[in-house]
Amino acid sequence: MKSKFETILLSGLTAGTLDILAAVLVYSVLLKQTSAVKILQSIASAVFRQEAYEGGPKMAFYGLLFHYIIALIFAFIYLKLYPYFSFLKKHVFISAVIYGIFVWLVMNLVVLPIAFPKLPPKQFDFQLLLSVFILIVCIGFPIAFITKKFYIRQEQLKNI
């Protein structure tokens, strides 16, 4: 990772891949609540509404594209915040947990209610805890650790 752009790409694409794989594995394979295509169509439905569920693989592709865009945005935000908060530098593990929770809060209290105004209220249950855990592990950790590695490398290059 030689540049901020490469760091955002690596951390965002890694986080996006881990997150969508976790969603498919947990909700489609283990819990058998939905299919991988429906998960992706649900993401696309934020933009395309009901048409997303009738659009087949094309809408699943759009859902995957939107998913990665969101992951890249969160990677960009973390990379931009990193230099200004010494806590992020000193406590990468805790920062990853906090950032995963932050991502969950933003998605569930801001993004989803804007995209889907009629969502049912959240229940504090296993599903909620599982969704937070997935975002901590799949979004928080890769973004925090890859970003930290980039900034460590930048410091090392300055000292040469």
What is the C-alpha separation between 153 and 2, in angstroms, rounded?
8
Least confident of 92-101, 122-131, 142-151: 122-131
pLDDT of residue 62: 97
pLDDT digits (tens, 9 = 90+) for 23-57: 999 999 999 999 999 999 999 999 999 999 998 99
pLDDT digits (tens, 9 = 90+) for 88-117: 999 999 999 999 999 999 999 999 998 888
135: alpha, beta or left, given left = phi > 0 and alpha = psi -120 to 50? alpha
pLDDT of residue 9: 98
pLDDT of residue 2: 86
pTM: 0.93
Is the model's pLDDT at 158 over the cut of 80?
yes
> What one-character DSSP code corresponds to residue 35?
-
On whether the CB atoms of residues 95 and 87 are closer than 8 A, the answer is yes
Residues 6+ apart with CB under 8 A from 115: 46, 47
What average pLDDT is seen over the chain? 94
What is the C-alpha separation between 146 and 12, in angstroms, rounded?
10
Share of the chain above pLDDT 90, in %: 85
What is the C-alpha separation between 78 and 135, in angstroms, rounded?
14
Q: Which two structure tokens, joined as six digits, stand for 4?
A: 């901020």
> What one-character DSSP code corresponds to residue 49?
T
pLDDT digits (tens, 9 = 90+) for 55-85: 899 999 999 999 999 999 999 999 999 999 9
88: part of which helix (H) or strand (E)?
Answer: helix 86-90
Local confidence band at 138 (pLDDT 50, 70, 90 cut-offs): very high
Is the model's pLDDT at 160 over the cut of 80?
no
Burial class (CB in 10 A: 0-12, 13-18, 19+), 144: buried
